[in-house]
Amino acid sequence: KYLLVNEQIARKVMLGLVDRKRIRQALEHFDISMHRVHETFGVRGRTVLNKLEAIYEDIHYLVSGAQAAYQYHRWRIPSAGDYELLIAANDFDTWYSYLRDARIIAGVTLPTSKERERYSEAVILAPSLTQELWANRVDIDGIAWISPIDLIFRLLASQSEEAIGDAVAIIVARKEFWDWEVFVASIKARRM
């Protein structure tokens, strides 16, 4: 009852959850101070984007998928609270521990609709982050996003109608900003 009406109590309980052993161990693995986490979560809350912003330079990741596509084309609104993160393969357990809580479910696939009802956000952890993708990232408001050109190639590789539509929408929305020679060279380099 008090959690619903008293923000101070809600924050205290939230920070208590952050102090749980598995989350603390995941953070310590990457030498992230609990003070920094408390400062971030105490002020901003605990959404996926808040968690990503809190550890931006410490653990490499890229937001990809429909959320990233929408970031670049502003055309088709993605499902609220569904994210895809590209991560290093050996960081899977750390990311799983760090992201998963009472509000967020994380895994290699989206949960079933029955599982999803219990959570406000879902994260697909795709262990396919490379140094090249990381080097090409786009930083927006303290969040690391996959570059538009890399996203287009990932969307085309999935070959779903929805993904191809997103790829075309990104090209159209950013047509004035493309370096077309680099874009064509990338297409040739990937033999597409």
86-131 pLDDT, tens per residue? 999 899 988 998 898 888 899 998 888 888 888 889 999 999 999 9
Residue 151 and residue 68: Cα distance in Å, rounded?
8
How deeply is 38 buried, as exposed, middle or buried, from its count of CB atoms within 10 A (0-12, 13-18, 19+)?
Answer: middle
pLDDT reported for residue 43: 44
What does pTM read for this prediction?
0.72
CB-CB contact of 120 with 104 (8 Å): yes
Handedness of CA 165, 166, 167, 169 (dihedral sign): positive
Strand order through the sheet with 61-64: 104-107, 121-126, 82-87, 61-64, 143-145, 138-140
CB-CB contact of 37 with 27 (8 Å): yes
- Which residue do the tokens 């697909």 mark? 124
**What kind and span of H or E run contains 123?**
strand 121-126
pLDDT reported for residue 133: 94
- What mean pLDDT comes out for the span 35-54? 67
- Which residue do the tokens 């605990």 mark? 46
**What kind and span of H or E run contains 133?**
helix 131-135
Higher pLDDT, 66 or 80: 66
**What kind and span of H or E run contains 27?**
helix 21-29
Cross-strand pairs, 145: 63, 138
CB-CB contact of 69 with 78 (8 Å): yes
Residue 68 and residue 74: Cα distance in Å, rounded?
10
- Which residue do the tokens 């077309």 mark? 180
Spatial CA neighbour of 126 closest among 50, 56, 64: 64
pLDDT reported for residue 116: 80
